[in-house]
Amino acid sequence: MYAEPIQRLIDELARLPGIGPKSAQRVAFHLLKLSEDDAGRLADAIVDVKARVRLCDVCFNVSDQELCEYCRDDRRDRTMICVVQEPPDIVALERTREYDGLYHVLQGHISPIEGIGPEDLRIAELLERLKAPPGSPEAIQEVIVATNPNIEGEATAMYLGRLIGPLGVKVTRLASGLPVGGDLEYADEVTLGRALSGRRRIQ
């Protein structure tokens, strides 16, 4: 329908999550109105983030260094790990100011329908972090499972509970207050803070 470069841009934008064909068309024509400087800055930012951003060697959060800012911070409580699905979930939890421990990003959730099993997530790496002997300075005392309150998140939480429980580490789940079917990333600070404070043990 449009000149080849425009149609190509629309097609690429439509591949992004949450952007349908009409939204992609609107964004494409908005980009056409940008000055060359503004368009160049946007293009440079995309290229830069792909070139410089990587996953943290320890927790698999996004970072521009080997270790993310939370793993580098010696002031954080190193006896606790909060397990989340995606990096934006960390930002949501940090906004509550209720948690000062470490994190572990699974990079997804268990979903047989989507063909995603435990082996596709960063679960093996999480278990490796829990191997320090009890009583040692490196020993993790509690794992907070903060997966999304939906079917996939609950399944992932139960799976982790069954794996970690026998290791002698306390495993808790965020308490009620989060809407079922919602995403952690979009929860407000008050609701998320209450859920974090009232977390419960996974049986």
Q: What is the CATH number of the domain that holds 166?
A: 3.40.1360.10
The mean of the pLDDT values for the chain is 92
Total-model pTM? 0.82
* 109-131 pLDDT, tens digit each: 999 999 999 999 999 999 999 99
User: Does a structural domain hold residue 58?
Assistant: no
Task: Based on the fold, state whether residues 107 and 171 are members of the same structural domain.
Answer: yes
Does residue 74 lie in a domain region?
A: yes
Cβ-in-10-Å burial (0-12, 13-18, 19+) of 60 comes to buried
Gap between the Cα atoms of 186 and 175, Å rounded: 16
Q: Report yes or no on 63 lying in a domain.
A: no
The pLDDT tens digits of the residues spanning 132-183 come to 877 777 799 999 999 998 889 999 999 999 999 999 899 999 876 777 777 8
Three-state SS at 152: helix
Which one, of 161, 202, 154, 159, lies nearest residue 181 by Cα? 154
Residue 32 lies in a domain: yes
On whether both 178 and 116 belong to a single domain, the answer is yes
Scanning the structure block, which residue is given the tokens 């993310």?
68
> 118 is in which domain, residue-wise?
68-201
pLDDT tops 70 at residue 74: yes
Decide if 133 contacts 139 (C-beta within 8 A).
Answer: yes
**Judgement on whether residues 110 and 32 belong to the same structural domain of the protein:** no
